[in-house]
Amino acid sequence: MIYMLIVFLFLLAVPFYNRYIPVLKVPCRRVDEIPGDHVILDIRDYNEGYEERIPGAVNLPVPYIVRNLDDIPARKIHLICASPLERNMGVRLLQKNGFQVAGFTLSNKKCAGKALACCHK
C-alpha cells in the first residue's frame, strides 16, 4: 500500500514540477535587449500574439511546439511568454528537444524591476 502511495505522489509531482517550478539560468530580458542573432519565438496564444505583435517574432503557441520542432531554426531562442507557466513549459519543451533557450520576456510584466515595454499597441 505504501508503494502505491509513493508512486501516486510521484506521478502527481512530475507535472507540478514541469509547470510551476521556475527554470533556472534563463534570464529575463527586455525585447530591445535581444541580440540580433537570436530567434524570437512568441509562445503566447495566437490571439495575444496577433493583438500585440513583436516585429520579427515567430508565433508558435506552447501546444504546437512539439508538432512544429522542424520549423524552429537551430539557433539561440528568445521566448515571448504571457505567463510564468508558459515560460516554464516552453523552456522545458525546447531544452528537452535540444534547443538552447537564451532568454525570455514576459509580456506586460517587469523584468528585474524594469518595465519590459514589449507589447504595446
Domain ranges of the chain: 2-115
- Backbone φ and ψ of 110, nearest 5°: -100, 145
pLDDT of amino acid 115: 47
Grid cell at residue 25: 539560468
- Which pLDDT tens digit goes with each residue over 34-79? 998 999 999 999 998 889 888 899 999 999 999 999 999 999 999 9
pLDDT of residue 80 exceeding 70: yes
Class of domain 2-115: alpha beta
CA gap 85, 52 in Å, rounded: 19
Over range 3-31, report the average pLDDT.
87
Question: Assign residue 108 a region: left if phi > 0, alpha if psi is -120 to 50, beta otherwise?
Answer: left
CA gap 50, 38 in Å, rounded: 21
- Which pLDDT tens digit goes with each residue over 86-101? 999 999 999 999 999 9
pLDDT of amino acid 113: 53
